[in-house]
Every structure is written in C-alpha cells, then in structure tokens.
Amino acid sequence: MTQLKERLAQIIFGIAASVSIIAVALICFFLFANGVPAMLEIGVFDFLGSSKWRPGSEQFGILAFIISSLYVTAGALIIGVPIGLLCAIYMARFAPKKLLRIMLPGIELLAGIPSVVYGFFGLVLLVPLIRVIFNVQGMGILAASIILGIMILPTIVTVAYAAMKAVPQNYYEGGLALGASHEFCVMRLIVPAAASGIMAGVILGMGRAVGETMAVIMIVGNKTMIPSSILDGARTLTSNIVLEMSYAADLHYGALIATGVVLFVFILIINLAFAFLNRTRKA
C-alpha cells in the first residue's frame, strides 16, 4: 500500500512538472513563431537599432524602449537592492523577536498590494513631489525607478532573509568562539555564506522590475524617445506592448510580439548570467 501511494505521488508530481514545462514551451513557441517573422520583415538591425517607432509609417524601432527599460530597471535595483539587503540582514540577525513578528507580516503585505495601487501612489504623491523639487513634468524614469524599487523590496527581503536563516548556526558560533564580534560574524560569515540565495532574490527582483507594466505606465511618461536624463519621460518594452496591443494589426501586431521576444531573451540572459556566476563562485 505504501509503495502504491509513493508511486501515485510520483505520477502526480511528474504530471505537475510536465504541465509547467509544456506551458513554458507553448509560450516560447507562440512568441517566436509570431515575433521572429515580423522581426525579419522589419529587419533585425532596424528593429533593434532604431529609435523610430511610427506604426502609421511602418517604422518599428525599439531601441528607445530597450534603453528606457534598462534605465528604469537599473534605477529600481540601485534603490531596492541596498535597502532590501540591509532590511533582510537586520531581520535575520539583529531584530528583536517582537519587532520581527511585526516586520514579517508587513513585508508580506507589501508583496500583496496590487501594482495599480503602487502606480496610483506614485501618481498622486511621488510625481507632484518630483515636479516641485526639480521643476519638471514629474512623470519619468526617476518616478518609475522609485516605485519599482519599492515594489521589488518584498521579493529581495524575503528571499535574502530565508537564505541567511538557512546558514548553519555553527558558522556564527565558530566566529564568536574565535573572538569575532556579532557584527563581524554576520557581515563576514553569514552574508557571504548566503550569497547564492541573496543573488537569487536580486535576480527575482530584477525580473519583477523588468516585467512590471501597470505601475510603470501610470508614472513613466510613455514618450517614444531615447531619454537623456532620469527626469525625462520614457516608455518601456512592457508598457509599449500594453498601450498598443488593443488596436495593433498585421505588421504592427507582429512588431509588438517581437518586442515580447526581446523581453523574453533579456530575462533569459539575466537568468543564464546568474547561473554562470553562481557556478563560478562555487567552483
């Protein structure tokens, strides 16, 4: 009877894993089957190397969107990674238990807030603040980066916190036994030992920043040009797809699908780079 239950569990888990793999394969097939032909028709260099996006004239260059996505993602990481990592370190090794019981649910609640609420928060509070301080329109890369930096905090904090809690306690106790201080043991022993998990949290946060759409659309300005400043308006890859997919047709539709292909490849490169760095560090 026990063997039958184990065999049944293996079949169920195998089916679940197969469904996940098939779903990813179907998504890849749809993207490449519809996006690559359009990219070839437009011209790969014209599509990736031009910043002219004029669907009415059948000019489809996404360079401005690529650069804008990189700027917004980089800004979100600059804001979110240090804050998230320091918060995770504090929660894992410094916070009192009473405070930790409040912080953990708070971080989880932050993760459950819909992205449109973040966008509305940025629109009514952050954008006017930037407008007053810098005397600009307010909607732009800076506002989007700050909001995305806040949005990726729960991912980075929870994953980094779990990674540091998973480090064996004898690492810490051994450092104390050798005369090291509490702060030294945490920063020089616990954090490096949890580096792989911390990097995983950063990569997941980066993926969230790259793929976020609704909050970005509301505050980034949505200008189809290469930004020259973090205060300029911009349009990311994801926001371009959402804004124009409802009325796109023919080559325009294919160009938007090809934009999704570029976004997919971008995420794939990030994950492959993380896997490579992780193997190099372990070697």
Q: Which residues contact 122 (CB under 8 A, 6 or more apart)?
A: 143, 144, 146, 147, 215, 218, 219
User: pLDDT band at 273, cuts 50/70/90?
Assistant: confident
Cα 70 to chain centroid, rounded: 11
Q: What are the tens digits of pLDDT across the range 194-230?
A: 988 898 899 889 888 888 888 999 999 888 888 988 9
3-state DSSP assignment of residue 270: helix
Stated pTM of the model? 0.89
3-state DSSP assignment of residue 114: coil
Tokens at 132, concatenated: 């007053």
Per-domain residue ranges of the chain: 2-46, 63-282
**Is pLDDT at 107 greater than 80 in this prediction?**
yes
**Is pLDDT at 59 greater than 70 in this prediction?**
yes
Q: Is 236 left (phi over 0), alpha (psi -120 to 50) or beta?
A: beta
**Is pLDDT at 145 greater than 90 in this prediction?**
yes
Annotate 253-275 with b (16+ C-beta within 10 A) or e (fewer): bbbbbbbbbbbeebeeeeeeebe
CATH superfamily, with its number, for domain 63-282: MetI-like (1.10.3720.10)
Residue 30 CA to residue 37 CA, distance in Å, equals: 12
The answer to whether 159 and 89 are in contact (CB under 8 A) is: no
